[in-house]
Chains A and B, each alone.
Chain A
């Protein structure tokens, strides 16, 4: 279980300077017991047109493997500045990643979608393992992933 309480770096497009316009959101990602090494996870947001808007978290430290997070990699070109300061360890099978960050109010109910790309060594890459629209009604609801992610919940 991993808990990060720091506010997201201001350089990303997703947070706003004023605390009044942002709220703390806790993202809980639980992985299936898929019987492999630790998974790399890219957690990021796309806008209503499906265009990449920004990254919330990168689980996994070796840039060499980022190309296996295929959608995220295609959107960002693997650009390291996208994940500066928001990188943690990879997540073991059956484990839970919990992060808390301040997200801008404007992201909710405005067509934005939260995505998780996952990759595990020697196993099938799983871009877009989870995707869930960011809405106030979805908050608190667990969403199933496709391959490695058992459930994803965001709570405000």
Chain B
């Protein structure tokens, strides 16, 4: 709920709020500038003294005003022409023009009414209302994210956009709260919705005489100049007219003949409140505060953009769950561990079916596991995919830590369902680890651990029936997987290798697809990718996408993959049969774990067969000439030396520091791990000095490489497992 109240005013009002914030920040400069440029008044001087000085310098003076910044302005009439000037209160002399600043006026009108008069004022007020709503809901969300009020300034984790968003919010939210609330008050005042009009001044009749000296008027003599708002002189030829004095505390009338006070009325409490609000909002009379609020307002556009990125990333990551119950009111809590998003689809189907059966279901990522907030839960269901080498998928990061940190497992029982692919040696290993951890914690099981192979709807339906029995309700889970949204890619060129050695492989280069403006702006899909990311292709008649590692980044201006044809392989057969000009439907899947960390530490790149693809892409993009050492295994130098010519060229440019190859056929048959063993001394030195290792290609090659490296690292007290935990050893294997 809070999140909705935060999201929609933000998304809808983004442009308006940015405009109001930037113009507000610009306006905050003027009161400060005016304050700095205005001559100081002697605070002990009375209005009578200063007004007398002005009157003798400017005999036709009609009105004297003091702005909250302390600037004193006089208005006069001279031979029928009006004049005005800023006054030095020490001399009474005119020292500068009092014409309103045109830029400030323009900016003010933009800020409060968008040049649209009353309509614009209402739009601006709506902007202020959404800002207020965003601030309040944002405060609640930050407290929730950091784990409580006391941890308001706790360090943040997570993706950069979200961190920037929250960092800015924590620093600026009080100012935004103040600015938006005061803006609404001011609008209400402008539209006469507040009883803050002046009280009527009840004054006795004027004497009809003229000529009292200003210094002989007790009210003026008793009031310090710093309290002055406005002193209006009587009309020169109207003996019944009076002096009107407005000060910080009220309004009075003074007889121009006797100098006596004819009447006085205090500001009402409402008037005072409105004036305080005006000061807080505009900084007039509080210019430092105004500047501070202005700087805080500048955070709004940045928060808008980062907020949009966070929102878009969340949308991309999971399908919308319609009618998701609140955590505190839910009786069934479904926790999802997904990386590619397909498990969220299964969760949505489960949620819909259980909701139809009368349960209140709350679906959340596993990483947000917090049983303290789901106290009404009677059942927990965990749906978890597996990645890498039995690792947690993105939306489950931190779940096992959270579980083990609990004092006791929740009393409501749990069912764990794993999603995986039997082609991987460690099938559903992460879900299994979750199930084991739950038992170890003493968490009661609702259902025995079960698995779903390659997103099979049949297996899911079968599991659903067992779940229905356990809950005592009939449960039909009819899951229709939603295909990811694809983009058409057209093949522009292909290079063929390996036919002679029974390893038909092609380097396929596709044109960069045309993208919409929004996609480009948000860096969505093919708008931004790097070598090592994946493209997914859904062959006809299959619900399971096949992934291919990208050998190019978006900056290269093309999409390149290396595909080996599997005998009888549906997707690899289709791809390797593609001719230039023919299209294929694909979607982009980011693979952030397989990107090298920033910096200049050397990279050790190890690959065999098609695994060269992302590694070649890294070398090609190595504009900063970071030391990169490539170990490449192939079958035969004359047949499947993928990127052979380019590698030589990149080496001559310094993009590639060294290249070591292994050929499994021919005169000296060798595997890549044997070349690694030969270079053990150099590798040990490099890794000891902080080099990163990236391995890509077949599973057997990868485990052979890991074994060899384990032997090399052992004497140093290191291991591949240890390096993996530090993020210095990453694999992309299939």
- Residue B41 is within 8 A (CB to CB) of chain A in the complex: no
Q: Is B517 an interface residue (CB 8 A)?
A: no
Stretch at the interface among A5-13, A16-24, A57-65, A99-107: A57-65
CB pair B200 A146 closer than 8 Å: no
* Interface presence of B118 (CB below 8 A): yes
- In the complex, the number of residue pairs spanning A and B with C-beta atoms less than 8 Å apart equals 37
A67 at interface by CB-CB < 8 Å: yes
* Chain A contacts to B: CB under 8 angstroms: 35-37, 61-64, 67, 70, 77, 89, 122-126, 128, 146-147
A64 in contact with B197 given A146-B80, A146-B82 (CB within 8 Å)? yes
Known A-B contacts A36-B100, A146-B82, A147-B82; A61 and B118 likewise in contact (beta carbons under 8 Å) = yes
Q: How would residues 165 to 196 of chain B score, 1 for a CB under 8 Å from any chain A CB and 0 otherwise?
A: 00000000000000000000000011110000
Contact of B105 among A37, A62, A89 (CB under 8 A): A37
Q: Find chain B residues with CB under 8 A from A77 CB.
A: 200
- In the docked arrangement, what's the CA distance between A153 and B273, Å? 43
Q: Which residues of B contact A37 (CB under 8 A)?
A: 105, 109
State the main secondary structure of chain B at its contact with A.
mixed
Give the interface size bracket for B toward A.
20 to 34
Whether A36 pairs with B105 at a CB distance below 8 angstroms is: yes
A77 to B80, CA, bound (A): 28
Question: What's the least CB distance linking B599 to chain A, in Å?
Answer: 56
Q: Which residue of B lies closest to A128 (CB)?
A: B235
Given the known interface contacts A35-B102, A124-B82, the answer about A62 and B198 at a Cβ–Cβ threshold of 8 Å is no
**Once the chains are docked, how many angstroms separate the CA of A146 from the CA of B79?**
10
Whether B100 and A35, one on each chain, are in contact in the complex, defined by CB atoms closer than 8 angstroms, is yes
Q: Is the interface of A mostly helix, strand, loop or mixed?
A: loop
Assembly CA distance A150 to B614 (angstroms): 77
Contact call A62/B102, Cβ cutoff below 8 A: no
Which residues on the B side are within 8 Å of A35 (C-beta)?
Answer: 99-100, 102
**B-to-A contact residues, CB < 8 Å:** 62-63, 75, 77, 80, 82, 84, 99-100, 102, 105, 109, 117-118, 189-192, 197-198, 200, 232, 235
Closest to A129 in B: B82
Contacts A36-B105, A123-B100, A147-B82: A62 and B63 contacting too (C-beta < 8 A)? no
Report yes or no: A64 in contact with B100, Cβ–Cβ below 8 A. no
Indicate if the CB atoms of B198 and A67 lie closer than 8 Å: yes
Known: A89-B117, A125-B63, A146-B77; 8 extra A-B contacts, CB below 8 A, are: A35-B99, A36-B105, A61-B118, A62-B192, A124-B62, A124-B75, A124-B84, A128-B235
A20 to B100, CA, bound (A): 49
Q: How far is the CA of A16 from the CA of B723 in the complex (A)?
A: 99
For B77, list chain A residues within 8 Å (CB).
Answer: 146
Picked from A63, A89, A123, the residue with its CB within 8 Å of the CB of B192 is A63
Q: Are B80 and A64 in contact (CB under 8 A)?
A: no
State A27–B92 Cα separation when bound (angstroms): 41
- Which among A61, A124, A128 has the greatest number of chain B C-beta atoms within 10 A? A124
CA A89 – CA B210 in complex, angstroms?
Answer: 39
A36 contacts across to B, CB distance below 8 A: 100, 105
A35–B103 Cα distance when bound, in Å, is 11
Q: Closest 10 CB pairs between A and B? A: A124-B75, A147-B82, A64-B192, A122-B100, A63-B192, A36-B100, A124-B63, A124-B84, A67-B198, A64-B190
* Minimal beta-carbon separation of B119 from chain A (angstroms): 12
